[in-house]
Amino acid sequence: MTHTFNSDGPQILPDLATVSLERDGHVLLIGLNRAAKRNSFDRTMLADLSRAYALLESDESLRAGVLFAHGDHFTAGLDLVDVAPAIAAGESALPDDGRDPWRLAGTWTTPLVAAAHGWCMTLGIELLLAADIRIAAAGTRFTQLEVRRGIYPFGGATIRLPREAGWGNAMRWLLTGDEFDAGEAHRIGLVQEVADDPAAALARARDIAHTIAERAAPLGVRATLESAHLARTQGEAAAIERLRPVITALFASQDASEGVQSFIERRDAKFSGR
């Protein structure tokens, strides 16, 4: 299926060494591309993914993103030989023009769908947890093995996995570093769907991203994510306080008018993001 769109000046895709970028309509495909090293993250790759996420959040022509990996594995985790000295020295691997790919800082309003296959180790699990919707190929192998390396997960797993999977399920894997499969990942809520193979997992992630990008109103999607994140970070009361002011603004938008008109005319809406 081919997806096209007309955009008012989308940003130029940067040329990154270890992450591929491709526009597919209103969707940005972000591919981990250090396959010869099982997509393990060195400092260059961390910076590249950070810049990719910055593009996803800053380009208003993009309505959703898909994170996937080239090669046989999603990621083998951190390249500790390259990264560990910088971390031990307290240095940040993220550039000033990038965004935190674990989405632990700042406001995030563009939906991200992730597709994993092969090995999904350590920070790979945390990248999934930072995404909004996650798909895994059957045969994907997961492990959060930091405790077996003398460290601990510092990309959000200790915060997000207990919330997504429940305390006991999270601690079972965080505290042992044991390996688990796609079926277990689905059972505990780490992934929402399991596809037959890597190609099917990526195809499913793209389908979901395009459903968001082409059938949902961009302003409504952003408001939904903002509200959900606000409830998580600042509590339900803060999110409740924002419900009526935001819906008032949305009802005054062109997209809301189009949504009502499409309902009256019994047709698909064509949203502009205004």
Q: What is the pTM of this model?
A: 0.92
Over its length of 274 residues, how does the chain's per-residue pLDDT go in tens digits? 334 344 456 777 888 999 999 999 999 999 999 999 999 999 999 999 999 999 999 999 999 999 999 999 999 999 988 888 888 888 887 899 999 999 998 889 999 999 999 999 999 999 999 999 999 999 999 999 999 999 999 999 999 999 999 999 999 999 999 999 999 999 999 999 999 999 999 999 999 999 999 988 999 999 999 999 899 889 999 999 999 999 999 989 988 888 888 888 888 888 888 8
Distance of alpha carbon 100 from alpha carbon 96, whole angstroms: 10
CB 39 within 8 A of CB 70: yes
Contact (Cβ atoms closer than 8 angstroms) between residue 118 and residue 73: yes
Q: What does the pLDDT look like over 42-100, one tens digit per residue?
A: 999 999 999 999 999 999 999 999 999 999 999 999 998 888 888 888 888 789 999 99
pLDDT digits (tens, 9 = 90+) for 94-121: 899 999 999 998 889 999 999 999 999 9
Strands, E assignment, the chain: 19-24, 27-32, 64-69, 112-116, 119-121, 133-137, 141-143, 179-181, 193-195
Contacts 24+ apart (CB under 8 A), 149-153: 149/80, 153/122, 153/123, 153/125, 153/126
At 146 the pLDDT is: 94
